[in-house]
Structure 1
Amino acid sequence: MRVVACSDDHRGWSAAEPPDTFGLVLPRRGHFRLVNGGVEQSVDVTQGYAQIPGLDQRFAHPSGGDVCTFVSVGATLWREIVGDRPAPTTVRVDGATELAHRLLLRTALDAADPAERLVRTVATAAHTSASDVPRATARTPSARAARARLAAHAREAVLDDVPSSRDLVSLARALGVSPAHLSRVFHAETGSSLTRFRNRVRLSRVLARLEAGDADLAAIAGDLGFADQAHLTRAVQATLGTTPARVRRALGALAA
């Protein structure tokens, strides 16, 4: 396992890069675009990807640099986890998986047992969630491409914390479409509502603040748009099954 920091800043696609090992890539900070085996996807804190030998990869970094964790997976373990099923290249990262990822990095980069547990968790989630994404219904390639671009631009606005991204109506106006159209397209392309995606990104920002040692939960709540500290605590409890204070202590204990 290794942490990979990329400082590239380009909208165009890179040359094809053929990987020679199985692996999982989990973003820690930033976001970028990827073509993996001919399938284009967004990569950010909510969505990583599987690296599979034989599937060429190309990258675009329209928003600057990023930091990811690459977990190399041996062929035997990969086959044990995936079996004979076609392996999905897109890997959804929920809040619990992101916390496990952060805890693993705070433990040690050579912690084999927790790394394997993380790989199993993410791979299982990838298979169970792959069927949840509705298939695009646009009839022509140009219409499908336009829908994909719209969803990608909405994702980027939320990830970059653009002020207009904080509510559906403002974001739709900024993107030049109706709120209803944006809502439909985003769900069709990602399998998630904009509100759910926005809340998932906000949880990631909470985890980043807690990992940095921020102990002022009221300030975190105010900065990130929660109604108050109690609202923040309920949101973290509902997603992670524990409180922000306990998450902070867990991350702090590993760093000590």
Structure 2
Amino acid sequence: MRLYEEGRPRLGRFRRLHTGKVITSMLNRKSAGEWCRGGIRLSGPLLCESVGGAEVIEGLGRVAAVCRETLGGGPRIRRPLAEGSSLDIVEITCCDDRRSFRPPVLVSGPKAGVTRMLLVRSGGFLARVNGREEFTDPVTGFVLRQGDEVAFAHPAHTRDISTMLDLGLDVYGDVCGDLLPPAQNPVVPVTAALDLAHRRLVSACRAGIDGFEVAERVHHLLTTVPTPHTPARTGRRAATVQAHRRLVDHTRAVLIDGPLTVSLEELGRQVGCSPFHLSRVFHQVTGQTLNRYRNQLRVRAVAEDLAGGHSSLRTLAATYGFADQAHLTRVFRQHTGQVPSAVRAMLRPAGPGERI
């Protein structure tokens, strides 16, 4: 919402006409191709009326109070997407920029036994699971078990949006045991198939579907989970291995922080090493090249914007550093097997019962 018009100062009062859509935006951070100039942003129909400055300040104070209540004292919003006796799906929007880890918490749920899967749609954060640190972004998710100890930090300053799936072991126990990574390695590589299944699940839940279809879509999502990458043994000292992992996590945080138009040379300068060393270490730790990883981030950022209603591929190509619209379409198809228009149709707010 703008409190002014170009060339003409304007003050306004707003009141919410639609509930349940409070969104916080980071200060001076780029989101969906536009610069946010800070503060609280409300999504949904709003009514503006001309009033005095005192009423504007009072109104902003009320909005801040609503957000504090919604976030429970912290910069996080939880939005339930689906709930059942053995399955909970929650969307989490977090605007934390705290670089140090928050106090750890134990994974627990309303069910007697639960496996928790966390998949990121945009942004990224650092997770410490039972002492193991892993940067998590749209290319990497992770799985938690009941009793795991987890803490989070946010080296990137962008807002992150994630989906948390709590899977009851009474129904999903066998599936989790067969398809999800072992407890000692909680990392889930997010392939194009898993990412698309995740985004389609969120879109369908928002549109409103029954428990039967939710369960079927979740089972389909679980079948797309790939085998985690295991870095090759190099004979290097443990301290060197840890230093390389920290370098990779730092690099991923810098890319998430944006812009994704950054050059390899500039990326090397930001993380403090040569482009050659950075490329070699990144490939060794992750099993993929920096270019492929960056393209995955760009493709998934485009998918997130398409799901949000953005339709101009030319604008998205410029925003995320593609040479032109044809280049965006070509890279998008290479990574997803689909053209952007097809994925946009898949992620539109459709009715229940559509093909999974």
Amino acid at match of 1:169: E
Question: In the alignment, residue 79 of structure 1 is paired with which amino acid?
Answer: G
Deviations 1:133-177 (A, max 9, x none): 3146363333222211111111112112247x7333332233222
Aligned to 1:129: 227
Structure 1 alignment gaps of length 5 or more: none
Counterpart residue number, 1:13: 101
Q: Does 1:155 align with 2:243?
A: no
Q: Which residue of 1 aligns with 2:272?
A: 176
Deviation of the 1:70 alpha carbon: 0.9
From 309, 314, 328, the counterpart of 1:232: 328
More helix by share: 1
Q: Partner amino acid for 1:52? A: R
Q: 1:63 to 1:228 in 2, by over 3 A?
A: closer
Question: Which AA in structure 1 matches 2:132?
Answer: V
Distance, in Å, in 2 between the alignment partners of 1:160 and 1:118 is 31
Shift of 1:101: 1.9
- Give the TM-score taking structure 1 as reference length: 0.86
Read off the aligned partner of 1:9 and give its amino acid letter. Answer: D
Structure 2's unaligned 5+ residue stretches are 1-88, 109-113
What is the aligned partner in structure 2 of residue 92 from structure 1? 189
1:191 and 2:287 matched: yes
Are 2:152 and 1:59 equivalent residues in the alignment? yes
- TM-aligned CA deviation for residue 34 of structure 1: 0.7
The one of 115, 121, 124 equivalent to 1:22 is 115
**213, 222, 242: which one aligns with 1:145:** 242
User: Could you give the per-residue CA deviations for residues 96-124 of structure 1, whole angstroms, max 9, x where no partner exists?
Assistant: 32222222222225654554455445545
The percent of aligned pairs where both chains have the same amino acid is: 33
Q: Which residue of 1 aligns with 2:165?
A: 71
In structure 2, C-alpha distance between the alignment counterparts of 1:213 and 1:89, rounded to whole Å: 33
Range with bigger deviation, 49-58 or 71-80: 71-80
* Aligned length, in residue pairs: 253
Partner of 2:92: 4
Q: Write the distance in 2 (CA, Å) between the matches of 1:95 and 1:56.
A: 29
* Letter in structure 1 aligned against 2:175: I
1:81 equivalent to 2:178? Answer no
Superposition deviation, residue 47 in structure 1 = 1.1
Greater CA drift, 229-238 or 22-31 = 229-238
Give runs of aligned pairs for residues 107-122 of structure 1, distance below 5 A.
107-108=204-205, 111-113=210-212, 115-117=214-216, 119-120=218-219
Match of 1:47 in 2: 140
- Greater shift after overlay, 144-153 or 62-71? 62-71
Secondary structure of the structure 1 residue equivalent to 2:102: coil
Q: CA deviation at 1:191?
A: 1.9
The separation in 2 between residues aligned to 1:114 and 1:33, in whole angstroms, is 32
Report the CA distance shift for 1:133/1:167 in structure 2 as closer, same or farther (over 3 A).
Answer: farther
State TM-score, norm by structure 2: 0.64
Partner of 1:251: 347
How much has 1:67 moved relative to structure 2? 2.1
| Cα-Cα RMSD | 2.6
Q: Distance in 1 between matches of 2:320 and 2:129?
A: 33
Which has the larger Rg?
Answer: 2
C-alpha distance after superposition, 1:50-89 (max 9, x if no partner):
1211321111123344221111101034421133783441
Provide the C-alpha distance between the structure 2 equivalents of 1:159 and 1:197, rounded to a whole number of angstroms: 11
Letter in 1 for 2:100: G
